[in-house]
Structure 1
Amino acid sequence: MQDPGGELALAPVVTYGGDEPGLAATKPARGKKINPKSAHVKRYVDHLHDQQQRAVRAVGAKKVYSYVYSFDGFSADLAARQAAQLRAMPDAVAVTEDRKVTTQTSSTSAFLGLDKPGGLWDQLAGPEDAGEDLVIGVIDSGVWPDSQSFANPDVSGKAYAPFTDFHGTCDLATDGSWDEGDCNGKIVAARHFDEAWGGDAGIKSQMPWEFLSARDYNGHGTHTSSTSGGDHGVAATGPTSIFGAITGMAPRARIASYKALWSAKDGSTASGADSDVVAAIDQAVADGVDVINFSVSGTTTDLLDPSEVSFLAAAEAGIFVSASAGNSGPATTVAHPSHG
């Protein structure tokens, strides 16, 4: 997998306040989102790309990802000598080695008190309407679009109206695992990120069982997507049928799936690289999600970790970031310190 390369000194799009001569501010006003198609944003993005390309050329490296919306930086294949050269540049904030992260999980509406009398669901006209007009960006192992938790219309027959201010897209799969109908209005974005593994060709050679799309082989991403935003009153199936009907935390929310974790063949875990995760965060911010869900491991100490910096920028732009704290104790092992 790639070394993720460097974080540079300029602010990303969602936090840029207009300090560069001739470049207007792109930070969205409170309660607003960025528009990646606007002229101001495009000009500033070009400026960030130019800065990054100069740094890449200076050390003779090849850029893999360019991050601009929630993080000013790039990932690249770097030899130790090149990493040292990059660290010495005056505009370089940090150079971080790529690391693997793995799935983590917890749940339930009862634990959060959502279903209590007078609870949040009651305040939002019941679970049949809670989450309406919100988009949850789930960065995980993908989603299984055929699940009834993502049906449109939902179980009650209520359809999801088209969005007009969301910029997400759904990528079709070269292996036939994702087609146009899989983004059905409940699922509104479906992207996959695998450059750290060598792209689709690398995944195919290392994990031939995996889908070359946002379709979920592992199941963890489907679980977290349905837990966060699955339709209301869906009959559980298989071994989980003993639970009866199941409902997501925000059942009328839409799901934007960003697959950055790739599964073991036996489905025991899924893992991904920081460089792919930051690319997924950057895309989710550009698309205009309202929430990012990240039930995945992460650093316990490094406040300059690229994912943490990206999450902080997303939060500053008004996106609610929900990241897991870990599956073990004590308190000193809590992951994602940017949420402390």
Structure 2
Amino acid sequence: MWAGRAGRLLGSSALALAITLTGTAAALGDDAPPTPAPSTAFTLVTLQGPGTSAGTRTAADLLARQDAVLGALGAGEPVYRWTTALNGFAARLTDSQLAALEHQRGIAAIEADTVRPLAGRTSLAAVRAAATPRLRGGAGVVIGVVDSGIAPESPAFADVPGLGPDPERFSGVCSEGEGWVAGDCTRKVVGARWFVEGFGRDAVRSSESFSALDDLGHGTQVASVAAGNAGVSVRVDGRDAGRFGGMAPQARIAAYKACWGAPDPSGDGCSTADVVSAVDAAVADRVDVLNLALAGGERIDTLQRALLGAAEADVVVIGAAGNSARAAFAAHAAPWVTTVGSAIGRMSRGRVSVPGGASWTGGGRPVDVRGPAVLAQDAAAPGVSSHDAGQCRQGALDSRLVAQRIVVCRRGGIGRIDKSQTVAQAGGRAMVLVNRSPGAVTADFHAVPTVHLPAVAGRELSRWVARHPGGRLRMSRVPGAAGERRTPPWSASGDPRGATLKPDAVADGDAVLGALPESTGRSWGVFSGSSAAAAHASGLAALLRAEHPGWSASTVRSMVVTSARPVPGATVLSQGTGALPSRAPRAHLALEVEAGAWRRALRTNRLAELNATSVLLPAGRTTAVRRVTNVGSRPEYFSVTARGFTSHRVRVQPLAVRLAPGESAAFTITVSGPSTPGRLDDGQLVWLGARGGVTRVPVALTR
């Protein structure tokens, strides 16, 4: 293990090639699915009743109860104790102690520790910058990021003027470690802790730092998207890629490193014991928003119970939905967590035209380019197969056949950005990247002007070029709003049999720009997955907490989720309310949940009856009741309509209410129509305020 930051840069040189975190089929490469996470040797034990965050008992009381349980088992001091977000501990227990634990009274949960994958994938190649980053927002708010750490040297986290007032509530610490000293915490990075005992010191890769320093890059990217400084210049490979700014650029960051790299990257991840310890510390430190970009939690497990304690402490909790859409339901099933899935964002689009008027549109940000075209498979370098040339692999193109031409490359085999680099090295003028099978298209930052076409359009264009050797193409960017399109979510969907509807919403999760540690060999990269989407939501929550310091976490959560807009063609089980906005919402209607109601509903198994921001009605249930509150400063009329349902009649009463500031009103949803097993019917209840606000409540009828 290295002894300082310079040593870390040398020891981590392999990371400059690629960072592979557990990811998604829609990621930037064509990678294999992740390896299932292994178990560790710890047992997580949660005692009944809340931690001190609920304000009912002291830490001394909780520790005494833990000592009594440990003493009855004949167990020694546990590796971790938790007293703030929940009452529990993590310990190595023998089989006989586990058997004895089953007979102990007052135990709420017993769980074997596991390593959870992170919910994103990072690429060091593709870069796209925000065109008009927000300059202000989030001042005085602290976002706690439970992840792989942070890179304090990044300009995204510099202690710059204009950060606004310092946080008043936060009371965290700056834990030193390898390559990290107290001075690495600033007015921007206000706290740093690290937790490794669950993952195991002997299990981390040699390039890792036993401190809050980020060596994987994931935590740095998440933190920068949520709260990176505004107006930061982005340069990659000597090229200007615009300016960067996080969602809440004036917000502060507290890093809680609980995710680690293993010698085999398939073992990278976060021990639940470490994550729960990080959550417990973050709640004790009094963060305002808590971001967890890791998978798991399809049921109410130890981590979800810890996050319940965070919600009871008035923390806005944001969790990534996960990316294993075919293998698991959305993560973080607990209703007190705002679970965010991924959709491909408002992608820039480019057009490829041929003489005679035919044109095809796909992802891209090209300048206007005209020139003769060539199929890459017809421009193979000597000794290279047409297959490798068609995929524009490194060194596979003959520069004599490619120079000053627009090259049509097939997707697959290597990364998308590597293909444009091959074209550039061979002297090509531009590239058209074509999918060979159904799949997403993107608008990456390429080495040459590029348009990425879907499979059908790609086949049509390829046939035209084959029939017109040397035919000229024109590439151009589609301007304005017509050049942007949001595509459906591709992250994990919600469980139709669950107590609450998940995910709560979606956000941009494809090729999102974020800062990277110096140890990766680059300062910027893009990442994909629900981790990027969750970071967006955390920044949005920070904007609201700064603008409305009197609002509870429950109110902020409601305002974030209900401000989303539906993505066409997607069900509410895949998108929740829809795609989150990029600005703080201006509506004045909230669905609030009193802090103690979460735990009462969990204890009585009545989670479905909570005043959630969504409705999930299974067969046998025909009504639901929700309560809305005017959180604005003036009286206002609100009216509601039911939209989108195809096979059921959904009636809402009352259809309109007038609410004074702080006043609430209950409304009842009644469903009538066929009950067909396995059939989903869904839609939304849309509340319109007289002052212009829109509040959406998604409804899923799983009948």
TM bin, normalised by shorter chain, reads 0.7 to 0.9
Partner residue in 2 for 1:167? 171
User: CA 1:332–1:98 in structure 2 vs 1: closer, same or farther (change >3 Å)?
Assistant: closer
Q: Does 1:83 align with 2:83?
A: no
Partner residue in 1 for 2:137? 130
Partner residue in 2 for 1:7? 46
Deviations along 1:75-132, one digit per CA (max 9) or x if unpaired, are: 000122212211211111111000111111399xxxxxxx9xxxxx9xxxx9332101
**Do the aligned partners of 2:296 and 2:332 also contact (CA within 8 Å) in 1?**
yes
**Do the aligned partners of 2:139 and 2:165 also contact (CA within 8 Å) in 1?**
no
Deviations along 1:235-287, one digit per CA (max 9) or x if unpaired, are: 22336966421111111100000000001358677312101100000000000
User: CA 1:131–1:331 in structure 2 vs 1: closer, same or farther (change >3 Å)?
Assistant: farther
Helix, strand or coil: the match of 1:236? Answer: strand
**Do the aligned partners of 1:218 and 1:270 also contact (CA within 8 Å) in 2?**
no
Partner residue in 2 for 1:317? 313
Greater share of strand: 2
**Do the aligned partners of 1:141 and 1:270 also contact (CA within 8 Å) in 2?**
no
The equivalences for 1:1-340 within 5 A come to: 1-16=40-55, 18=56, 44-62=58-76, 63-105=78-120, 127-153=134-160, 157-159=161-163, 161-173=165-177, 175=178, 177-198=179-200, 202-203=201-202, 206-238=204-236, 243-265=241-263, 270-300=268-298, 302-303=299-300, 305-329=301-325, 333-338=329-334, 339=337, 340=502
User: CA 1:325–1:64 in structure 2 vs 1: closer, same or farther (change >3 Å)?
Assistant: same
Deviations along 1:159-210, one digit per CA (max 9) or x if unpaired, are: 555444311000111x3x1012210110000100011144xxx24x743221
Cα distance in 2 for partners of 1:104, 1:127 equals 25
**Do the aligned partners of 1:186 and 1:255 also contact (CA within 8 Å) in 2?**
yes
Amino acid across the alignment from 1:11: P
Cα distance in 1 for partners of 2:238, 2:247 equals 18
Deviations along 1:27-86, one digit per CA (max 9) or x if unpaired, are: xxxxxxxxxxxxxxxxx1011011101111211223111111111110000122212211
**Do the aligned partners of 1:2 and 1:275 also contact (CA within 8 Å) in 2?**
no
Partner residue in 2 for 1:30? none
Amino acid across the alignment from 1:55: V
Helix, strand or coil: the match of 2:255? Answer: strand
Amino acid across the alignment from 1:135: V
Cα distance in 1 for partners of 2:333, 2:268 equals 22
Higher relative contact order (CA 8 A, sep 6+): 1
Deviations along 1:283-308, one digit per CA (max 9) or x if unpaired, are: 000001000011111132x21x1111
**Do the aligned partners of 2:118 and 2:270 also contact (CA within 8 Å) in 1?**
no
Cα distance in 2 for partners of 1:239, 1:330 equals 37
Amino acid across the alignment from 2:170: F
User: CA 1:254–1:106 in structure 2 vs 1: closer, same or farther (change >3 Å)?
Assistant: farther
Amino acid across the alignment from 1:79: T
**Do the aligned partners of 2:163 and 2:250 also contact (CA within 8 Å) in 1?**
no
Partner residue in 2 for 1:36? none
Helix, strand or coil: the match of 2:113? Answer: coil
Helix, strand or coil: the match of 1:96? Answer: strand
Cα distance in 1 for partners of 2:89, 2:115 equals 17
Cα distance in 2 for partners of 1:336, 1:61 equals 31
Helix, strand or coil: the match of 1:336? Answer: coil
Amino acid across the alignment from 2:143: I
Cα distance in 1 for partners of 2:259, 2:158 equals 24
Amino acid across the alignment from 1:216: D
Amino acid across the alignment from 2:330: V
Partner residue in 2 for 1:118? none
Deviations along 1:299-332, one digit per CA (max 9) or x if unpaired, are: 32x21x1111111221232211111001132596
User: CA 1:332–1:213 in structure 2 vs 1: closer, same or farther (change >3 Å)?
Assistant: closer
Amino acid across the alignment from 2:90: S
Deviations along 1:195-238, one digit per CA (max 9) or x if unpaired, are: 1144xxx24x7432210100000000000000111011212233
Helix, strand or coil: the match of 1:207? Answer: coil
Cα distance in 1 for partners of 2:71, 2:51 equals 21
Q: 1:15 deviation in Å?
A: 1.8
**Do the aligned partners of 1:9 and 1:93 also contact (CA within 8 Å) in 2?**
yes
Cα distance in 1 for partners of 2:107, 2:287 equals 29
TM-score (norm 2): 0.39
Helix, strand or coil: the match of 1:337? Answer: coil
Q: 1:4 deviation in Å?
A: 3.1
Cα distance in 1 for partners of 2:316, 2:326 equals 25
Cα distance in 2 for partners of 1:163, 1:322 equals 20
Cα distance in 1 for partners of 2:73, 2:93 equals 9
TM-score (norm 1): 0.78
**Do the aligned partners of 2:199 and 2:274 also contact (CA within 8 Å) in 1?**
no
Amino acid across the alignment from 1:145: P
In structure 1, stretches of 5+ residues that fail to align are 24-43, 108-114, 116-120
**Do the aligned partners of 2:142 and 2:167 also contact (CA within 8 Å) in 1?**
no
Partner residue in 1 for 2:479? none
* Cα RMSD after superposing both structures: 2.6
**Do the aligned partners of 1:236 and 1:246 also contact (CA within 8 Å) in 2?**
yes
Amino acid across the alignment from 2:185: C
Give the percent of matched residue pairs that are identical in Structure 1 and Structure 2. Answer: 34
User: CA 1:269–1:78 in structure 2 vs 1: closer, same or farther (change >3 Å)?
Assistant: closer
Amino acid across the alignment from 2:197: E
Quick check: 242-251 or 75-84, which moved more?
242-251
Cα distance in 1 for partners of 2:85, 2:292 equals 15
Cα distance in 2 for partners of 1:240, 1:77 equals 51
In structure 2, stretches of 5+ residues that fail to align are 1-39, 123-129, 338-501, 503-703
Amino acid across the alignment from 2:113: D
Cα distance in 1 for partners of 2:269, 2:176 equals 22
Amino acid across the alignment from 2:273: S
**Do the aligned partners of 2:47 and 2:107 also contact (CA within 8 Å) in 1?**
yes
Greater share of helix: 1
